[in-house]
């Protein structure tokens, strides 16, 4: 089967240097970008119902840039002063560098894993077992972070600060693609929500992760 048209279930890259554009040119394929999911904030009133006091923790775990944005958004909404000695643990260096949007990066203790895999954050956390961790996650988080924290044996809690929801399709939008790429289980759920009678047929589906 020759691939001529690909759907990427993410926003279009801002940079023209994205590998997607290289692929489109090299293989003469058309690539459309259409997010299947969107992120919505959990507001302060709802967050308080979790009985999580941000000031009780001296270490924060981030798995995405969404987590960083919503952590500092909620802290501002709730008028919580972020202690300068707070330590930050990020899944990747790229996510860690995103913290520069909110903090003086050079003057803070920022740690990150060597890859984008959550499991590779374990050795970093293990070096700081004395800390009390708050993991900032989506309301529909999976068990990866809780399992990691339990395995390492540290004191932790979960703070749900945003949620991932389906991005609805219009009645005139069709899925006439030879290949579709997904990056989370929520994207697959959004596909089935928007197209409940969807049948894969000869369409190739690529996924990030098991």
- Buried-state track 81-100, b at ≥16 Cβ within 10 A, e below 16: ebeeebbbbbbbeebbebbe
Q: Which tens digit of pLDDT belongs to each residue from 108-131?
A: 899 998 887 888 899 999 999 999
CA 51 to CA 66: how far, in whole Å?
21
Q: What is the mean pLDDT of residues 4-21?
A: 91
Nearest to 64 by CA among 188, 162, 210: 162
Percent of the chain with pLDDT over 90: 77
Say whether pTM exceeds 0.85.
no
pLDDT (0 to 100) of residue 111 = 95
pLDDT (0 to 100) of residue 209 = 77
- Buried-state track 24-60, b at ≥16 Cβ within 10 A, e below 16: eeeeebebeebebbebebbebeebeeeebebeebbbb
Give every CB contact of residue 166 below 8 A, 6+ residues apart in sequence: 36, 37, 38, 186, 189, 190, 193, 194
pLDDT band for position 16 (cuts 50, 70, 90): confident
pLDDT (0 to 100) of residue 192 = 92
Percent of the chain with pLDDT over 70: 100
């Amino acid at each position: 089967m020759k691939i001529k048209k690909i759907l990427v279930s993410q926003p279009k890259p801002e940079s023209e240097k994205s590998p997607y554009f290289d692929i489109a040119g090299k293989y003469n394929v058309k690539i459309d970008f259409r997010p299947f999911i969107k992120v919505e904030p959990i507001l302060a009133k709802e967050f308080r119902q979790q009985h999580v006091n941000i000031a009780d923790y001296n270490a924060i775990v981030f798995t995405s840039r969404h987590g960083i944005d919503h952590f500092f958004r909620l802290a501002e909404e709730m008028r919580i002063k972020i202690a300068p000695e707070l330590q930050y643990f990020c899944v990747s260096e790229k996510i860690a560098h995103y913290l520069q949007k909110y903090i003086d990066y050079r003057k803070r203790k920022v740690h990150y894993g060597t890859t984008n895999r959550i499991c590779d954050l374990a050795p970093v956390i293990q070096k700081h077992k004395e800390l009390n961790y708050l993991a900032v996650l989506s309301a529909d988080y999976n068990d990866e972070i809780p399992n990691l924290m339990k395995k390492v044996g540290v004191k932790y809690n979960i703070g749900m600060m945003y949620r991932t929801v389906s991005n609805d399709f219009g009645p005139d939008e069709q899925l006439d693609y030879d290949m579709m790429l997904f990056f989370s289980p929520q994207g697959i759920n959004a596909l089935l929500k928007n197209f409940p009678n969807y049948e894969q047929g000869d369409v190739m589906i690529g996924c990030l992760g098991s």
